[in-house]
A and B are shown apart, each in its own frame.
Chain A
Amino acid sequence: MAKKSLLVIVRHSPYGSSLARSSLEVALTAATYEQTVGVLFMGDGVLHLLSDQDSSHIGARNIARLIASFPLYDLETLYVDGAARSRHGLESMPLPDNIRSVDSNAMQQLFCDYDHLLGF
């Protein structure tokens, strides 16, 4: 199978709909098939990166833990929309090591660099 790079764009909040889980599952599936995958958290999608998530009382899987498992699937290229982080007051919150903060120009460059875009 030819390798194509895929950028998964996560723009919605984590527990409000099934979009979040779907987007992350697509990213994991593509990575499992050894495709080059990047994940960009932008807009409300940056809320996925809050570290103290506890979804045990709402019958949903813990999204933060799912993201923490990404390196096990060699999914290590993650980006976060820096402006959206500050809009949500998350600037001082530590980011996992494998996540790079990007501005608008850098995000435009990502859209150019990846072969495929998949927006959620």
Chain B
Amino acid sequence: MVLHSLSAAPGSNAYRDCLQLLGKGDALLLLADGVYAALADTQAYLDILNSGAELYLLQPDAAAAGILNDTGERITPVDFDAFAELTERFVKQQAWY
């Protein structure tokens, strides 16, 4: 049960490596350039959705990118407090960058 954080865009090696390790029971937080994987109707979003992991999106970064109104329905926007709570709930974390 791992909290994965992804900070690179969907075309990156980091995205691909992350996807390979994502599974049920895990959570994925998208931040920095990683937020673009939250765009609805993209293969990147469908692939993280199909992993079965819980999906979270760092709201300030998504707002900066201008995608807050275009994200998939199954991804939950979080602020920094909720981000901190995620790190409490998951003992193990892996940063993909």
Binding site for B on A (CB under 8 A): 9, 11, 42-44, 81, 83, 104, 107-108, 111-112, 115-117, 119
* Interface range on chain B (Cβ under 8 Å from partner): 10 to 19
CB distance from B68 to the nearest CB of A (A): 28
Q: How far is the CA of A42 from the CA of B96 in the complex (A)?
A: 12
**Which residues of B are found within 8 Å of A81, using beta-carbon distances?**
20
Taking a contact as CB atoms under 8 Å apart, the answer to whether B13 and A117 are in contact is no
CB distance from A39 to the nearest CB of B (A): 15
Taking a contact as CB atoms under 8 Å apart, the answer to whether B23 and A119 are in contact is no
Taking a contact as CB atoms under 8 Å apart, the answer to whether A119 and B94 are in contact is yes
- State which of B13, B16, B95 has its C-beta within 8 Å of the C-beta of A119: B95
Binary CB contact string for chain B from 17 to 30 against chain A (1 if under 8 A, 0 otherwise): 10011010000000
Taking a contact as CB atoms under 8 Å apart, the answer to whether B96 and A119 are in contact is yes
Q: How far is the CA of A81 from the CA of B19 in the complex (A)?
A: 14
